[in-house]
Chain A
Amino acid sequence: MKRTFCLMAALVCALTLFSVPALCEEVIETEDTIFTIVTAPEQTAAQRPPCFPDPTAEYIPLPDTENIAQGKPVLSGAHTDVYVSSNVNDGKTDTYWESKGWPAEMTIDLQGSFTVSTVAVCLNPSSIWEPRIQEIAVQVSTDGENFVQVTPPEKYQFDAAFGNRIRIDFSPVEAAWVKVIFTLNSSSRTGGAQAAEICVY
């Protein structure tokens, strides 16, 4: 003797999947057992959990032009542990550069002269990177020796809610080298500057 109760129709489950994530259950009773079967939603691939909306819409936008820093030669002082300078423009935000102490300078050789107007500094956008402040200045050079400051040291807030990245805009200027100078990082986990990517536009 078997009785079946469907507490929620599959249609209701599908409709509610992305609004109220209640369990869809089916109850089946046999002679000696009452089964509660928690049913799975229709999926064709792993999805982002509905209770964690995609945050990328809130990310600080970057210029849609080419990032001319990516893959170019970089020069910096000592780094911490395995967080080498080449991580800073490898195109991946899950690797990062971390300086060993202060001040921390990262110079990017653009391998040619460009008109630049934006520098972006990105950390890993993962929410496990807690908010922090870094103080950053930007200088440019056309010969690799004489640098001109285009933005003074300013404190920038990094927050995963906004992509853990900041954008420094300035008046367009000719540059073949860009130097990004870090003088503070509020994170208690490090004694140096951190950047997963430094982008130049």
Chain B
Amino acid sequence: MKSKAVLACLLALCLLSAGVPFARAQQPKTLITLYEGPKTMTSSETARVTVNGRELFVYDVMVNHEHIWNANTLPSYTPMTYFDFEGEARIRVEMPGLEKKVESAGVLPGSFGITPAVQDGAVSFTITQPGQYTVIFNGSVNKALHIFANPLEKDIPDPDDPDVFYIGPGEWTMDAIALKDNQTLYISGGAVLHSIVSVAGARNVRILGRGIIDGSDYPAWNQPGSYARVPIDLNHAKDVTVDGIILANSNCWNLNSFSSSGVTINNVKIISGRQNGDGFTFQSCTDHTVTDCFARTWDDSLVIKNYAGSTKGITFRGIQIWTDLAQSMEIGYETDKGLTLDPEIRDVLFENITVLYNFHKPVISIHNSDDAYVHDIVYRNIVVENAFMQGDNGFNKELIEMTLQNSSWSTVRDEFGSIDSVLIDGLTVINTLNGKVPASRLSGVGKDNRITNVTFRNISILGRPITSLKELKLSVDDYCDGITIE
């Protein structure tokens, strides 16, 4: 009996040890966090989306396919959804809201290299990295689906912390939220918050979560009786973090920062379709870093201006842009609206920027429309997947535009500034409106107000390396010096 028991134990050990390598070889399970939509809202009838077989709540959000300024424009809607994950997410999309059955689809950015399968009108593809994904159907941008696949959330604030305002899932409304020193606003995934958030004169403030700040309750800001309700407005704020949330349906511009410093913005997604719906817009700010964000906007997507002092140390890195109106990366036009002494805009970096679409005005633009000294501006690794700039009445349809002229936004009209030390290192344009290289333009204004030392490096348009200013179709006037291409 004893020997039989020992034998049985040995056999069991062998079986167990044989099973260990098998267990070790198993893939870890994918972790997915899904958020129910508010019970007061219904999921989009345009799109049905599942991830690993579970249905997602899909929101219809305002966008705008009118690619020319219209003060009374009306937005249309496109589907948007989100979840958090780690591992492998199998996404399946059906589009009952499209008039035509889905015959083809694409997943943007193209650099992700995802080729979706299309079968019986359903689109399927797999992602393994968090990020922002856009699906277009039948070769059209109509009803493009935006999927925000967030990383799993970490360090969720403690709701019992007296400095934490914790907004859970559901639909919520209040006029405005003003945050003070050391306070945190947490907007959970599954929350839709109809409100605006202001950080005025406060420091060490955080705005976190996965939820949506929604402006759909408010008429467009320029309509009679309405006014601008900026979803996130930083004003003389210091040391602010904004992370993970979505801004949708704003009645004006979106994430605004004025005379603030030490601002970190990460994984914030903006979709706007109404008048002056700029994306990330900073005026007279210092030390701002924006990473891994998304901006589909009906006005400038990334914007730097001077309203009351100078700008220094702004970084945009890893941003996806879809510009339905105006410019994608704009410095200006206002560069000295506050009439300050020696205004500057300096040390600005745009890096790893993917422009999914630009339908209107230049992708890269510095419009020094007042008297600032704009210098040390770097654009590095910029990919423009669809450079479809149609401009306004034949103007402003350049790929790159740098000017020193007055404009309707000028405050200083009798003096001009300069632009110096600009590097564009790595610019790839995949598609253009007519299959040709779009023009670009540099224009100073006088012998003392020049554009100097602009270097183009590693430029590729429509699959061809661009090695001369002529190939770039760059017009340079008499007030530019040191314009080179490498």
Residues on A facing B (Cβ under 8 Å) = 17, 20-24, 28-30, 32-49, 51-52, 94-95, 125-128, 130, 160
Q: Which residues of A lie under 8 Å from residue B168 when comparing CB positions? A: 17, 21-23, 41
Q: Using Cβ atoms and an 8 Å threshold, which residues of chain B touch A37?
A: 33-36, 54
How far, in angstroms, from A41 to B196 measured CA to CA in the complex?
Answer: 22
Is B154 engaged at the interface, CB distance under 8 Å to the other chain? Answer: no
Find B171's partner among A34, A46, A130 (CB 8 Å cutoff).
A46
Contact of A40 among B53, B165, B169 (CB under 8 A): B169
B188 within 8 Å of A by Cβ? Answer: yes
Q: Is the CB of B173 within 8 A of A29?
A: no
Q: Are A43 and B53 in contact (CB under 8 A)?
A: no
Q: List 5 A-B contacts (CB under 8 A).
A: A30-B52, A36-B34, A43-B39, A43-B170, A128-B178
> Complex formed: what's the CA distance from A37 to B51 in Å?
12
Which B residues touch A130, using CB under 8 A? 178, 200-201
> In whole Å, how far is A96's beta carbon from the nearest beta carbon of chain B?
10
B interface residue numbers (CB < 8 A to A): 27, 29-40, 52-54, 87-88, 159-160, 164-178, 188-190, 192-194, 196, 198, 200-201, 225, 227, 233
- Chain B residues with Cβ below 8 Å from A36 are 31-34
- Among B33, B194, B233, point to the contact of A46 (Cβ < 8 A): B194
Asked if B198 and A38 make an inter-chain contact with CB atoms under 8 angstroms apart, the answer reads: no
Residue of A whose beta carbon sits closest to that of B175: A126
The 7 closest A-B pairs by CB, nearest first: A127-B178, A128-B198, A40-B36, A46-B173, A46-B171, A126-B176, A21-B168
In the complex, chain B residues whose CB is within 8 Å of the CB of A30: 52-53
In the bound complex, CA of A41 to CA of B167 (Å)? 12
Bound: A94/B229 CA distance, A: 12
CB distance from A82 to the nearest CB of B (A): 9
> Inside 8 A of A94's CB, which chain B residues have their CB?
227
What's the nearest-Cβ distance from chain A to residue B258, in Å?
11
Q: Other CB < 8 Å A-B pairs besides A43-B38, A51-B159, 14 of them?
A: A23-B169, A33-B52, A34-B29, A35-B34, A39-B169, A40-B190, A43-B171, A46-B171, A47-B172, A51-B165, A51-B167, A94-B227, A127-B178, A160-B178
Contacts of B192 on A, CB cut-off 8 Å? 46
CB distance from A48 to the nearest CB of B (A): 5
Shortest C-beta distance, B261 to chain A (Å), equals: 18
A38 and B37 CA atoms in complex are apart in Å by: 9
- Among B53, B54, B174, B227, the one with the most A-chain Cβ atoms within 10 Å of its Cβ is B174
Give the residues in chain B near A23, CB-CB below 8 Å: 168-169, 188
Task: Enumerate chain B residues within 8 angstroms of A52, measured Cβ to Cβ.
Answer: 165, 174, 177
